[in-house]
Amino acid sequence: MLARTADNLFWLSRYVERAESLARILDVALRLATLPSAYAGTSNEWESAIDIAACREAFFANHDVANQANVTHFIIAGENNPFSIRACIETARHNARAVRTAMTTEMWEILNDAWNEMQRLKFQSFTSKDLTKFLSFVKEVSLRFDGGAYRTMLRTDHFWFQRLGMLVERADNTARLLDVKYHVVLPKTEPVGGGLDYFQWSALLRAVSALNSYHLIYRGGIKPWLVADFLILKPEQPRSLISSYEDLNRVLDFLAERYGRQGPSQRLVRQTYAGLQNLDIDTLFQTGLHEFLAQFLDDNNRLGMAISEQYLQ
Amino acid sequence: MSERTVFDEMGGMEGDPRAIYREVAAWFKQASPELIGNRKAEAEAFFRRIGITFAVYGDEQGAERIIPFDILPRILSNAEWNRLAEGLEQRVKALNAFIGDVYGARDIVRAGIVPEDLILANPAFRPEMTRIKPAAGLYSHIAGIDLVRTGPDEFYVLEDNARTPSGVSYMMENREAMLRLFPELFSRLRIKPVDHYPDELLATLRSVAPQSASREPNVVVMTPGPFNSAYYEHSFLADRMGVELVEGRDLFVRSNVVYKRTTEGPQRVDVIYRRVDDEFLDPLAFRPDSTLGVPGLMSAYKAGNVTISNAVGTGVADDKAVYSYMPEIVKFYTGKDAILANVPTWRCREASSLSHVLANIGDLVVKEVNGSGGYGMLVGPHATKAQREAFSAKVRANPDNYIAQPTLALSTVPCYVDEGLAPRHVDLRPFVLSGADKVRIVPGGLTRVALKKGSLVVNSSQGGGTKDTWVIDDEPNPARAGQSQAQKQG
């Protein structure tokens, strides 16, 4: 397939996945904001939302303080935010339009409908009811897009590059979410596992639709290290880092076999995947969760670039 | 100018419809305004959903617009269509022969039929093509011939489009919309299908692949990119043919062979159905500032390693000055009189014509020889005195650049406009595919409508709309007739 087409599919899937993550980030912040401060702690969940969304600089260039009104607006549709939900959907649709022939009608229609909807919405006058509705809408778009791709695309390399984009982005988002929560959720003065933690960790699990499945797997109270274990090392959890890497590894192997050639992206993905397989949660906490996640984000980023150099130019 | 009687193809709003429209007119007569409103809304939703849009240059607001679609179909009978198809095939064969001659021996010039300067001074003339022999001697593989009608049997060719005619995606999507909206009419009438157009196009393109191509020639569609007004159509055609949609940057030339950049490395390309204008195709041969093209493409073309479709330089055959010679051109290459008539045309380059045009400018349509899209023209009867004077001055300053034609009483078909059903002028663009093996024409084409009352300009950039075009197989078919008889009795 054309390298440019693969590039577009890779990126448009990343943008759709990112739009969903942003919606989830806002969801969790909204939930935390409704808790009395005795439960939620004194930390500013809106500032942490900005951190997870990785737009601190852009945000504070335009605003002095982070509060619900300006953070939600900035993340949803901020004019000066190139990675707002609206911008992500727009870019995804723009990329899709450039490679319409590479995807199925179903996938295109989902993005085009979402884009038409965005044109119609009046973000300036959003009520909190509108906001909740909008966030479910965004999650639905991503679910439908992903399902549309899974159910309608031919299993040719078009499909595999679409998957690669989604997986790289998903790993990035889960790691980011964990990393920032790690700071926010474990203030130095609070004993780990105290009552305050409970609501914050559960909000985090809820953000990745994993609260129920956490209980299914661990059958106990919510413990920070178990949440980390769940979102980093449990292959059964589809948003965990190891699960994303298991799939990335499989897809890249498949492409290598198909094209009869291995390259840097196969080497990188194998390295990171093996690292995750050999890791246990105790060692991870000894080296420091934050250090681990920083390293992971870096590796994941390098994998994205390697894929780009190897296939997309 | 006095009102002339205008031929309405359905037979007017009242009274008996023409036979071929009987079923359709009856349906629309019995339909309630609500039902019509619903079907219109459905059509609008359909087009918005599939994202079939076009862009109007110089219009920031309307970066992506939907072309207005009218739900009342335009209908031709079998006999009407067969005569048109015969005329179209003849005309396009002559066009291809003419282009080959222009870049070859120029017999037609030596025979004194077409003046040489008309060819050599034509901005669309590409000297490079005198050294290139395209496969099967064909140049315009895809031609769009614009037809107008003034009476039951009077059809005229208004314009030939031998470069990169567009609109075929509307022809197909209009049909798709109508199939969804009026299944009852489709089951009753034998409407000839058009949805095999992409297969016909691909067969045509493959038939003109260069000799060095593999047995399964690799065809691509080349687009200037998503910002082009016809981008939807480019991606639509690539999709339906199942071939790659490429931009210039996806291709490169090595040792006079064209390759596309893929995830598996370079792959050879044999036929390029390009929707990029000549001068942007290759920065080494034409405009050096073009970023839409492929450096070296013309050398590969010259080496016979790739087919560019349509060929470079086909524009010499479709400007409006050459148009006026078409009856003679058809006769010269086919040995027969043209089946399809030209609109009588005055060439302002000839002194006697010029004075006639200037004296009668209020009754004429004056066009720029190289203009398109309804720009750069004056519709005399609809222009103000000041506009006529300004235009006369332009014509006087550069007469070679203009032709004039009488304002024809173009036929109408009823359309749903804000005030209800009203007659609007239409034209028809059928698409003619010329392959090494044969000529292919799908029955029908794109009907364009001038939605403004009284307007004769049908271009989408000037507020035109479209209709689905039905060729109804109305000739008695013994097997089928028996069947419907049986059904009636049952």
pLDDT in tens, B145-155: 999 999 999 99
Is the residue at B268 inside a domain? Answer: yes
**How far is residue B181 from each of residues A259, A279, B43, B334, measured CA to CA in Å?**
46, 60, 7, 43
For residue A6, the chain B residues in CB contact (below 8 A) are: 263
Find the residue in A nearest to B236 (Cα). Answer: A101
pLDDT in tens, B42-95: 998 888 877 676 655 444 444 567 788 999 999 999 999 999 999 999 999 999
**Alpha-carbon gap, residue A300 to A165, rounded angstroms:** 12
Whether the ipTM is more than 0.85: the answer is no
Is the residue at B436 inside a domain? Answer: no
- State how many domains chain B has: 1
Question: Where do the structural domains in chain A lie, given as residue ranges?
Answer: 3-311
Find the residue in B nearest to A113 (Cα). Answer: B49
What residue type is B298 in one-letter code?
M
Facing A100 at nearest CB: one of B48, B239, B261: B239
**Alpha-carbon gap, residue B33 to B420, rounded angstroms:** 9
**Alpha-carbon gap, residue B374 to B452, rounded angstroms:** 14
Is the residue at B192 inside a domain? Answer: no
Pair B412, B9: CB distance under 8 Å: yes
Is the residue at B296 inside a domain? Answer: yes
Is the residue at B370 inside a domain? Answer: no
| Contacts A–B by Cβ distance under 8 A | 53
CB contact under 8 A, B249 and A4: yes
Is the residue at B272 inside a domain? Answer: yes
For residue B238, the chain A residues in CB contact (below 8 A) are: 101
A3 CB within 8 Å of a chain B CB: yes
DSSP B319: S
Is the residue at B342 inside a domain? Answer: no
For residue A259, the chain B residues in CB contact (below 8 A) are: 263-264
- pLDDT value at residue A187: 45
CB contact under 8 A, A101 and B231: no
B226 CB within 8 Å of a chain A CB: yes
Pair B339, B290: CB distance under 8 Å: no
The CATH number given to whatever domain includes residue B231 is 3.40.50.11290
pLDDT in tens, B97-139: 999 999 999 999 999 999 998 899 888 999 999 999 999 999 9
Residue of B263, B275, B292, B294 for testing the chain A interface, max A β-carbons within 10 Å: B263
Query: Nearest Cα to A197, choosing from A40, A25, A32, A27?
Result: A40
- pLDDT value at residue A182: 65
Query: Minimum mean pLDDT among B329-338, B396-405, B432-441: which range?
Result: B396-405
B241 pLDDT more than 90 = yes
What is the residue range of B297's domain? 211-305
Does pTM top 0.90 for this prediction? no
Per-residue pLDDT of chain A (313 residues; tens, 9 = 90+): 999 999 999 999 999 999 999 998 898 888 878 776 655 555 577 888 888 888 888 999 989 988 888 999 999 998 889 899 999 999 999 999 888 878 888 899 999 999 999 888 888 888 888 898 999 999 999 999 999 999 999 998 999 999 999 999 999 999 988 876 665 544 444 444 455 567 778 888 888 888 888 988 888 778 878 888 999 999 999 999 999 999 999 999 999 999 999 999 999 999 999 999 999 988 887 878 888 999 999 999 999 999 999 999 8
Find the residue in A nearest to B239 (Cα). Answer: A101
Find the residue in B nearest to A258 (Cα). Answer: B264
Residue B92, class by beta-carbon neighbours within 10 Å (0-12 exposed, 13-18 middle, 19+ buried)? Answer: buried
- Smallest CA–CA separation between B326 and chain A, in Å? 39
- Smallest CA–CA separation between A122 and chain B, in Å? 18
Facing B235 at nearest CB: one of A6, A101, A255: A101
- pLDDT value at residue B490: 36
CB contact under 8 A, B263 and A112: no
Return the SS3 of A68. Answer: helix
Is the residue at B115 inside a domain? Answer: no
Pair B319, B370: CB distance under 8 Å: yes
